[in-house]
Structure 1
Amino acid sequence: MIFNMKKKTERNLSFQFEKIKQNKDAIPLAKFTEQAYLDYALSVVHGRAIPKLSDGLKPVQRRLLYSMKEMSLKKTSKPVKSARVVGDVLGKYHPHGDQSAYDAMVRMSQEFVMRYPLVDGQGNFGSRDGDSAAAMRYTEARLTGFAELLIDEIDMGTVQFFPNYDGSFIEPEELPARLPLCLLNGASGIAVGLSTEIPPHNLTDICNGILELIKNKAISNSGLLNIISGPDFPGGGQIINPKSDLEAIYANGKGTFKVQGRWEIEALQRGQWQLVFFELPHGVSVQKILEEVDDITSPKIKNNKKSLTLEQSRQKTEMLNVLATVRDESDKNCDVRLVFEPKNSKVDKEVFVHLLLAKTSLRSSVSLNLILLGLDGKPDQMSLKNVLNDWFEFRQKTVKLRTLYKLSIIQQRLHLLLGRFKVLGSIDRVIQIIRKYNDPRKNLMKEFALDEDQVRDILELRLKQLAKLELEVIRNEIDEKKKVEKSLKAIVRNKKTIERQIEKELLLIKKEYGDDRRTIIKESKEVKFVSELTEELLTIMVSHNGWVYMKPGHIFDPQNIQFRSGDYLKIFFRSSNMEHIVVVSTLGRVYSMQLFDVFDSKVQEVPFSSLVEPKKNERFHSFLIGKDNQRFAIVTSQGKGLRTTIKNVLSRNKAGKRFLNLDKGDEPIGLIPLEECEQGLAILSKFGYLNIIGSESVKELLKGGKGINLMNLKEGDEVSSAGTVGNNGLCFQCETKKGIKKSIRLSRKKLFSFLGKRGQRGKKVDTKLQIINMDSGLNF
């Protein structure tokens, strides 16, 4: 039997669409996808990526700790297999991959990641060199003593619980942390549309900061920074930011710490020496440094290249000129000992250190992005003071709930003791009633004025215990419980008493777990390594097709260059190897590099495209060479332009950076160097119109943009050339109606008639001649 599946499918689809049309609850697809993506984003933020301010934990971390607490894996307990912990947390609370849960537990145990580890791992839990932990079937784990500061109050009514994923168990919304763990151990997470990055801090610093905040609620971020100082990484290191930078970072809740390793110079025999790094920046391993040095000294040829790039060759030469060898001498007695031997004892120590810091991760950056889920459950960018303030508010609430729980326990015990006290003088009568009646509760309640709880307590006592009740013992316990009740009520009623209680607890925690800072904060200039180069004079020539020709000295005549077929000289510069070459492409991207990175006495001609990583169909026509403070203007074919300086366009990115926002069909026609004083900027159109404007009338856009309109062009017209007016005026290449080429020169005096304003069309240079190009004297 053969079925026509196509017709059947069409009928089904038709039926479905008709059903949707009749369904009044149907919503547009765009609205549905928007809501679905929003739900997904919120789920990632709350359920996976961003930690809570209250306990500083992500859900998987919180579930692991709670599960281990439920398994009674305290610091004094015998550790169990990690697989058992992972299995328990997956089955009860975290229905995700077992490896991700295990990785989270491993991370909480690593001393080189966590400033204060929460899991005590037994076995191979990885190394700072990037070695992974052993499989979970081999390792064992239990909680650390520090982790108990997060969970020891969880059974005292301090936090809310909610059902797990299938409703068979309950789990806490947050842990009653006795310290702001979000700062102590830091956090890292990427959500949808936002991320968090918090470095670890020192417990003593944080405790002192909170204690000062309790005393002085008006303290500023700057005041707190005098106490907390800054991050404190597990592996030490040195933060070199100035204090003003640190204040801005903690006030905004966002910024970058510049961190470098710590080293010492060890003297050897016969005047020799070696450089030893004993601390590395956070997240940097010895293995990574060794690989970076190897990449510099033994570079590999990049894809689609026949040989090493000029940059690779230069870096290799720089490093091998001063470095003899590097080796890892780290062992169980010394976590980090990375030794660099100079080529000889005459190598300048400062130059040696600066080279290593500049070329490797021995100096790197650590970000801070203080985004946390606040007490209202919403993600928020916070300052240091906001974090401590909100955590202190959470802690006050927790202490109050804990005190109320203890108060209820005391009152319940006191209530039962009072019941026992009432019957103590009539024990024989109580025993008689119990023997006489099958259900003596009502009789006891009526005769001794007891309630159900008190009667139940008395009936649950054995006769032997009941006969042994002593009046004095019960009276003493009642007095003791009443004193405790009074003190607990005082705490609940008075906010100041709660604050004093938190102070006492913080001081005890600081005494038990506080330690010295490992990371020093000492401002240091971020010295960029510059090769010991002597200034060399260069003549740089650029061809129409984008080839760069480099010759030493200034006496070389550019006319002697033999260009490739169809190519010709476009512009040349007399400069030095200390200047920058800046290029704006036809796509409006800007590329830059220092000439000493480009110039090689062995290779004196190279296509500029081979020095960078251009986009598809990107061409290079607009070149400029100068020092950092060189001012210049950019003019496009559609008559737009702007003014900037070389230092504002510099970028070490070989892919360049976006600078000009060009309209369709527009492209830059030249980069015009400008002097500090006002100059005449001449703009020539293809139709022969010339407009001369003041260079200062061109708007300065330091970060680039679309530019402003410099010349009003007729339909079909475009800018052909631009430049500044020199002392000798301007020279124009022209063509007669008969095709005869000629040049005309207009002196500065004659050019006065072409002075106009920005945005004007200008005047025709000559009504009888076709103006082909203008020589503005750009070559220098």
Structure 2
Amino acid sequence: MPPAQQVPFPLDGEGGPKRPRRAPKTPGGSEPPPPPPVPDTSLAEEAQRKYLNYALSVITSRALPDVRDGLKPVQRRILYAMLHDLHLSPDGRFRKSAAVVGDVMGKYHPHGDTAIYDAMVRLAQDFVMRAPLVAGHGNFGSIDGDAPAAMRYTEAKLRPLAIELLGELGKRTVEWRPNYDGTKSEPIILPARFPNLLVNGSQGIAVGMATSIPPHNLMEVLDACIELSNQRDLPVSRLLKKIKGPDFPTGGQLHATKEELEAVYTTGQGSLKLRGEWKIEEDDTKRGPSFLVVTSIPYGVERKAIVEKIAEVILSKKLPPLLDVRDESTDLVRIVLETKRGTDPQLVMAYLYKNTPLAVHVPVNLTCLVPTDNPEVAAPKRLGLDEILNQFLTFRYSTVTRRLEFDLGELKARIHVLEGLEIVFDALDEVIAIIRKSDGKADAAGKLIKRFNLSEEQTDAILELRLYRLARLEIQVVRKELADKRAEAKRLDALLKSDTRRWDLVRDELAQMKEKYGDRRRTKIMGAVDEPEFQAEDFIVAEDANVILSAQGWVKRQRELKDPAQTRLREGDSVLAAVAGSTRSAVAFFSTLGVCYVCRIHDIPPSTGYGDPVQKLFKMADGERMVAMMSLDPRALGEELRAPTEGAVEPEPPFALALTRGGLGFRFSLRQHREPSTRAGRKFAKLGENDEVLAVLLPPSQGLVALIAANGFALGVPVEEIGVLSGAGKGSTVMKLDEGERLVGASLDDLIEVENEKGKLLRENAEKMRGARGEFGRQCFPAKKDRIVRLVPPPVATPVLGKPEEES
């Protein structure tokens, strides 16, 4: 940003203007030149420019890897400093990690020691990198999520595979640039001999973009490179015959069809399903429990997180056949699950795959930096598999070419010196005489150049020649070396003149890499697997149970219920509803805000005490209360609650009846609520301002529903006159109310009993309230002085279930 605008007359301590001081004159007596004018720009433009600069810096200098060597800048600088500055070669000794971090931070990457150490640790973790590049000594973290030890305690050096990234740096194969303070040089890219971007993958979040490249098998990737080098326009489908898919260091099973993999690798983005592997181990006694052993876990998931989640499932008794979980892992993953004998292991694992991190979706985003015309600048781009491999092959071909040119140049320089020595050996006595008669090195050099037509390089080599090299055998050694160097130079020159021979060399080197470092695939590609579909009720013991809901919102499940009035409740509480059904059936709760919450009866905690607040089961809003509960067991409803008929235009029975305090009402199909809901529930009503659901009833197909207002007016409306809604809505007016009036109750009973403000009970027959929908009703309860407070519900009866279908 430009410097801030200066005040022409700075203020003194009292706030008055201070006289500007006269600018000092230059030694020549003239006035100094005026300062440059401050550019005039808007804050928005300056902020935009600064933010774009920041975004570009994060994208190109921190977060995204380069397609050529597959490394981010911090990783590249770590590897370079370990080899060039600390000489931590694979056959050398370890050095403290703090020394590595200090060198990298002080010379190449001034962004903090924590970031550098974390990046180095990742390069050494064999459960993160498919082919680790750093050898770590000490605690470098674990697959359990344990943090590595501090850098002062751990040591590191390079692995052999890292040398394949760095080995050709000394042969001018890549471009260089000054480091951040201009005191040293660093490579812009490493001359990688294998496609590290695919082999080790990468994760990163930049500004406005991210990358998520899974690791792959080195042998498969090199095979694909060799095939693509023969035919550069191979489609992704052909490359996938060599690269089967991602190969994670933690193993696992990848469930993806060939079509899914081709779509992901063609577009450069997508998601793949990865899950752990398991096997069965039987108890030796043949009478004890059986064991399921998890032998691999998904990539990027902490082992302890899986064990903790399985333990939660066991403690909550959501999976009754699962008895215990133990982590017996060493260097190999071994999570032992103890199950009841006779349990279907496929169903147990289907539940765990759905409800624990044993199965995850791995995102794929093949975004990386690709080279541009400016060697110091790379641009972000999302590539397909074929584009990534083609970019690497182009880079590899260029690197090999530059290496050959460097080697040829070095050979020619050596040949030139050897040719000078050969000339000397043919006139050795004369050369010695010239040197002895000269006045010094410079004089001798001039005379030798003039006599034998030598270059300065040749003359320097002759003058620096040791006397023992003048022996006859040594002369033969020089002549043999000259012959060998000429032959090698001829071979390199032929390579540089033939594109075909250079591509053959690239392929040969890739094949050598495959032979030296290749290993077997760890992740299995399963494709589409046909396995049993998990159903929650498969693990629920089918038995009848009762559910009790109190007026204050406490719910519990009991095996037997002789009299709801005798159940244990908190002081001042009462039973709102009691229903019965199979533990595999669902139960629906309806709230004042028009939300229906559905869960299985089995999911309601059993209790002989007060029970649990219903808010523990569902995510309810502040002030939301339950107004009704229904069992969705076919025996309680009188019919099976089937799914809506495909293509049906009108809602299908059975219908529930909803009424609001504002006098609105409608019927809705229970078929939309047959399955358990999320904790947030499903909307069945849209309420107007200051309105709430008063009651949800299960009416017969014909009959009266009686509505009572606080002013004593009541109206009995035939149920069939109330409209049916296909979705959540407000409904229509069932009973008109005077301004400010509210309904206090609604009932399907023949005898209606209400209570007024003085606590007096008033009764009336529902038939006397009969009228048409939308009327004001009639004054059935005197309420001129004492308004009606509430409808007195009849005692909650013990729920009775009919016979199961197979017994009917």
Query: Normalization by structure 1: what TM-score?
Result: 0.70
For structure 1, which runs of at least 5 residues remain unmatched after alignment? 16-21, 299-315, 553-564, 635-644, 670-694, 699-706, 708-718, 723-730, 742-768, 774-780
Match of 2:322 in 1: 323
Q: Deviations over 1:139-196 (max 9, x none)?
A: 2211111111111111110111211121111111111111111111111111112211
Match of 2:381 in 1: 380
Say if 1:201 and 1:233, in contact at 8 Å, map to a contact too: yes
Larger radius of gyration: 2
Say if 2:541 and 2:583, in contact at 8 Å, map to a contact too: no
Equivalents in 1 of 2:494, 2:597: separation in Å? Answer: 70
User: Aligned-pair distance for 1:94?
Assistant: 1.7
Aligned length in residues: 648
User: Aligned-pair distance for 1:322?
Assistant: 1.1
Q: Deviations over 1:232-264 (max 9, x none)?
A: 111211112222222222122122221222111
Deviates further, 249-258 or 459-468: 459-468
Letter in 2 for 1:329: E
Q: Is residue 182 from structure 1 mapped to residue 197 from structure 2 by the alignment?
A: yes
Aligned pairs for 1:25-36 within 5 A:
25-36=39-50
Say if 1:240 and 1:525, in contact at 8 Å, map to a contact too: no
Match of 2:214 in 1: 199
Match of 2:108 in 1: 93
Match of 2:307 in 1: 290
User: Aligned-pair distance for 1:421?
Assistant: 2.8
1:358 is aligned, of 341, 354, 360, to 354
Deviates further, 182-191 or 98-107: 98-107
Q: Is residue 513 from structure 1 mapped to residue 517 from structure 2 by the alignment?
A: yes
Q: Deviations over 1:384-428 (max 9, x none)?
A: 111111111111111111111111111111222222233332222
Equivalents in 2 of 1:475, 1:582: separation in Å? Answer: 99
Q: Is residue 106 from structure 1 mapped to residue 121 from structure 2 by the alignment?
A: yes
For structure 2, which runs of at least 5 residues remain unmatched after alignment? 1-9, 21-35, 373-377, 560-571, 633-640, 652-669, 694-724, 744-772, 778-808
Match of 2:413 in 1: 412
Shift of the 473–534 alpha-carbon distance from structure 1 to 2, 3 Å rule, reads: closer
Match of 1:639 in 2: none
Say if 1:735 and 1:770, in contact at 8 Å, map to a contact too: no
Equivalents in 2 of 1:351, 1:575: separation in Å? Answer: 21
Match of 1:279 in 2: 296
Q: Deviations over 1:338-378 (max 9, x none)?
A: 11111x31222222222332222222222221111112311
Q: Deviations over 1:551-580 (max 9, x none)?
A: 99xxxxxxxxxxxx9xxx9xx9x9997789
User: Aligned-pair distance for 1:611?
Assistant: 4.8
Shift of the 338–537 alpha-carbon distance from structure 1 to 2, 3 Å rule, reads: closer
User: Aligned-pair distance for 1:284?
Assistant: 2.8
Match of 2:731 in 1: 721
Letter in 2 for 1:347: T
Match of 1:530 in 2: 536
Letter in 2 for 1:284: V
Q: Is residue 61 from structure 1 mapped to residue 71 from structure 2 by the alignment?
A: no
Equivalents in 2 of 1:346, 1:287: separation in Å? Answer: 28
Match of 2:262 in 1: 247
Letter in 2 for 1:318: K
Letter in 2 for 1:460: E
User: Aligned-pair distance for 1:514?
Assistant: 0.6
User: Aligned-pair distance for 1:431?
Assistant: 2.4
Equivalents in 2 of 1:165, 1:394: separation in Å? Answer: 26
Letter in 2 for 1:106: V
Match of 1:124 in 2: 139
Say if 2:591 and 2:625, in contact at 8 Å, map to a contact too: no
Equivalents in 2 of 1:667, 1:433: separation in Å? Answer: 118
Letter in 2 for 1:336: V
2:451 is aligned, of 447, 454, 457, to 447
Shift of the 209–426 alpha-carbon distance from structure 1 to 2, 3 Å rule, reads: same
Match of 2:795 in 1: none
Equivalents in 2 of 1:162, 1:328: separation in Å? Answer: 50
1:485 is aligned, of 483, 486, 489, to 489
Q: Is residue 172 from structure 1 mapped to residue 192 from structure 2 by the alignment?
A: no
Say if 1:371 and 1:381, in contact at 8 Å, map to a contact too: yes
SS at match of 2:338: strand
Q: Is residue 339 from structure 1 mapped to residue 336 from structure 2 by the alignment?
A: yes
User: Aligned-pair distance for 1:204?
Assistant: 0.7
Equivalents in 1 of 2:691, 2:234: separation in Å? Answer: 55
Match of 2:756 in 1: none
Q: Is residue 424 from structure 1 mapped to residue 425 from structure 2 by the alignment?
A: yes
Equivalents in 1 of 2:776, 2:462: separation in Å? Answer: 115
User: Aligned-pair distance for 1:91?
Assistant: 1.6
Say if 1:540 and 1:575, in contact at 8 Å, map to a contact too: no
Equivalents in 1 of 2:525, 2:14: separation in Å? Answer: 71
Equivalents in 1 of 2:283, 2:738: separation in Å? Answer: 81
Aligned pairs for 1:561-572 within 5 A:
none
Letter in 1 for 2:202: A
Query: Normalization by structure 2: what TM-score?
Result: 0.67
1:370 is aligned, of 352, 366, 375, to 366
User: Aligned-pair distance for 1:208?
Assistant: 0.8
Say if 1:582 and 1:646, in contact at 8 Å, map to a contact too: no
Letter in 1 for 2:108: Y
Shift of the 551–123 alpha-carbon distance from structure 1 to 2, 3 Å rule, reads: closer
Root mean square deviation of aligned Cα: 5.3
Identity %: 37
Say if 1:424 and 1:469, in contact at 8 Å, map to a contact too: no
